[in-house]
């Protein structure tokens, strides 16, 4: 029970940090600043580097609510109600920045980027001299109105967020007093994703200790553009590859040279983790979702009340975990799950777990505060060895780990390295991402053993022309 409470609290904190918005939004122009709104004659004035605002004294702000420099100007004004609440809150900001955030807003707030850029499919509202998209929705259950726009020649993005009673005429009056001061510098934004240059790479070989690692780029038949850096998983079953991206399970034909899309597997929920057993069965899991069994691209069974799950190669048992060192070892019997607690006492928090026939590999932060390491346990949870960096200290963030014929291999996403250890857990060497994969600043998302004994590695990286972040695959051999 305490594990569940801890996990739920952590999720809430993470969601707040990401400033996520809940659903139920709509994109309309039914609400816009009234043409009749007038700035009061006795208005107060606030001048920043990037905008000027004349506003009625009913609006207030604290000095801590104002930020202003050459590339970013913002303020939060409120019409207060009591000491700790407000009737309306208005965030106004302008940023001199590349278009990444603006394009992310399009996706987050329900606009189709292609329709916006190529077909002018959405009406725009002029706010302070900038043509903006408008979105009505809610933020944690509170009514919310957003205006956001891109001023390409100034390399600037503007965002206005009104929360509370945004239909009040005082909002129209406030926005009527806003004027953006954005200088035309002749900027031209990077291409949109559909016009950008897709990632490609040549075969490469790189020394890691005494080993020579080799890589081969495996293209998707259609480029997979994503706004999510981290949460992508992959498994291979025979001549099929299964990729979880954006909570969706995608099935590809995989011939060792190319990934050809076949279908999205129909699921009831959004999943984040996938394990393939030696029977060709897939096990899908995520915190707050039922454990799902997928066979031949179809869900055939579900098992409730698990967290993230990694299954054993024979598909009979697995580890259910979130971030706490207190986990569950689960055993599948028919339609039932038997559970027993298993605690990895040397860890403070867990990031990833992998299992094979003999061992449980737990990647996470050590309880003694010595950093991120790989802890190797037997299947009963008895510590066997600890894997570290070359100096015996912490690693970056291991996002994939497996045993090899004569040792171990890990993908360190923070350090952007493929690391090898020998059978005793001694550091052997590493290969850098740029040398091995021709990448710029990737994230190693996941890996899986293919039928020929290589590893299919899944990464994300920005294209060289900054037009998009792309999901990329390589086969890795030589270990």
Cβ contacts of 130 within 8 Å, gap of 6 or more: 149, 151, 158, 180, 182
The CA–CA distances, whole Å, from 479 to 227, 236, 452 equal 32, 19, 13
- Low-confidence residues in the chain, pLDDT < 70: 1-36
Q: Looking at residue 13, what is its pLDDT?
A: 41
284, 287, 289, 293: CA torsion to nearest 10: 20
Task: Report the alpha-carbon distance of residue 56 to residue 42 in Å, rounded.
Answer: 8
**C-beta separation of 214 from 476 below 8 A:** yes
Domain with CATH 2.130.10.10 in the chain: 196-477
Query: How confident is the model over 174-191, as pLDDT tens digits?
Result: 999 999 999 999 999 999
> What are the tokens at 437?
């994969």
Closest CA to 281 of 298, 290, 293, 292: 293
**C-beta separation of 143 from 126 below 8 A:** no
Q: Looking at residue 38, what is its pLDDT?
A: 81
Closest CA to 78 of 92, 99, 95, 97: 92
Q: What sign does the CA torsion over 264, 268, 271, 276 have?
A: negative
The CA–CA distances, whole Å, from 16 to 3, 13, 22, 253 equal 20, 5, 11, 39
Per CATH, domain 20-180 is 3.20.20: no
Quick count: other Cβ atoms within 10 Å of Cβ 34?
A: 13
98-102 own/partner pairs: CB under 8 Å, 24+ apart: 98/155, 98/189, 98/190, 98/466, 99/150, 99/152, 99/157, 99/189, 99/190, 100/466, 101/157, 102/148, 102/149, 102/150, 102/157
The CA–CA distances, whole Å, from 290 to 280, 312, 368 equal 20, 18, 34
Domain with CATH 3.40.1000 in the chain: 20-180
Task: Report the alpha-carbon distance of residue 252 to residue 168 in Å, rounded.
Answer: 51
Q: Looking at residue 36, what is its pLDDT?
A: 62
The CA–CA distances, whole Å, from 167 to 81, 125, 143 equal 17, 15, 10
Q: Looking at residue 288, what is its pLDDT?
A: 86
Task: Report the alpha-carbon distance of residue 198 to residue 192 in Å, rounded.
Answer: 12
Alpha helices in 98-167 (DSSP H): 100-108, 113-119
User: What angle is formed at CA 360 by the lines to CA 357 and CA 364, rounded to 5 degrees?
Assistant: 155
Q: Looking at residue 242, what is its pLDDT?
A: 98
Q: Which CATH number fits domain 196-477: 2.130.10.10, 2.60.40.1120, 3.50.30.10, 3.20.20.150?
A: 2.130.10.10
Residue 311: strand pairing partners: 318
Question: What is the pTM (predicted TM-score) of this model?
Answer: 0.87
Task: Report the alpha-carbon distance of residue 311 to residue 318 in Å, rounded.
Answer: 4
Task: Report the alpha-carbon distance of residue 76 to residue 74 in Å, rounded.
Answer: 7
Question: Rg of the Cα trace of the chain?
Answer: 26
Q: Looking at residue 309, what is its pLDDT?
A: 98
Phi, psi of 48 (to 5 degrees): -125, 180
């Amino acid at each position: 029970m305490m594990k569940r409470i801890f996990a739920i609290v952590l999720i809430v904190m993470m969601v707040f940090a990401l400033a996520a918005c809940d659903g139920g939004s709509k994109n309309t122009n039914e609400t816009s600043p009234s043409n009749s709104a007038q700035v009061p004659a006795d208005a107060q004035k606030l001048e920043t580097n990037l905008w000027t605002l004349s506003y009625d004294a009913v609006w207030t702000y604290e000095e801590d609510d104002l930020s202003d420099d050459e590339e970013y100007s913002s303020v939060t004004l409120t019409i207060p109600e009591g000491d700790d609440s407000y009737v309306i809150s208005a965030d106004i900001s302008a940023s001199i920045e590349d278009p990444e955030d603006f394009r992310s807003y399009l996706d987050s707030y329900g606009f189709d980027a292609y329709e916006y850029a190529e077909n002018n499919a959405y009406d725009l509202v002029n706010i302070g001299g900038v043509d903006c998209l408008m979105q009505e929705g809610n933020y944690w259950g509170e009514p919310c109105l957003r205006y956001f726009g891109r001023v390409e020649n100034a390399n600037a993005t503007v965002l206005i967020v009104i929360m509370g009673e945004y239909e009040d005429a005082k909002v129209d009056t406030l926005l009527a007093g806003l004027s953006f001061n954005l200088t035309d510098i002749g900027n031209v934004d990077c291409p949109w994703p559909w016009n950008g240059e897709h990632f490609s790479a040549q075969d490469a070989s790189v020394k890691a200790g005494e080993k020579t690692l080799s890589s081969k780029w495996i293209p998707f038949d259609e480029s997979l553009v994503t706004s999510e850096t981290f949460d992508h998983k992959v498994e291979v079953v025979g001549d099929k590859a299964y990729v979880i991206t954006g909570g969706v399970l995608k099935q590809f034909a995989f011939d060792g040279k190319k990934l050809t899309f076949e279908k999205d597997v129909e699921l009831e929920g959004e999943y984040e983790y996938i394990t393939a057993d030696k029977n060709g069965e897939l096990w899908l899991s995520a915190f707050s979702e039922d454990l799902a069994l997928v066979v031949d691209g179809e869900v055939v069974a579900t098992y409730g009340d698990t967290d993230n799950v990694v299954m054993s190669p024979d598909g009979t048992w697995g580890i259910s975990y979130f971030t706490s060192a207190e986990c569950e070892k689960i055993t599948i019997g028919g339609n039932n799950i038997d559970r027993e607690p298993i605690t990895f006492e040397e860890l403070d928090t867990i990031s990833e777990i992998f299992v094979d026939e003999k061992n449980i590999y737990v990647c996470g932060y050590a309880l003694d505060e010595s950093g991120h390491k790989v802890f190797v346990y037997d299947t009963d949870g008895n510590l066997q060895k600890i894997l570290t960096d070359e100096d015996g200290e912490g690693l970056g963030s291991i996002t994939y780990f497996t045993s090899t014929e004569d040792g171990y291999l890990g993908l360190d996403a923070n350090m952007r390295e493929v690391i090898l250890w020998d059978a005793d857990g001694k550091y052997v060497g590493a290969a850098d991402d740029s040398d091995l994969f021709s990448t710029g600043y990737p994230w190693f998302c996941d890996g899986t053993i293919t039928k020929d004994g290589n590893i299919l590695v899944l990464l994300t990286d920005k294209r060289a022309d900054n037009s998009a972040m792309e999901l990329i695959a390589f086969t890795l051999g030589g270990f």
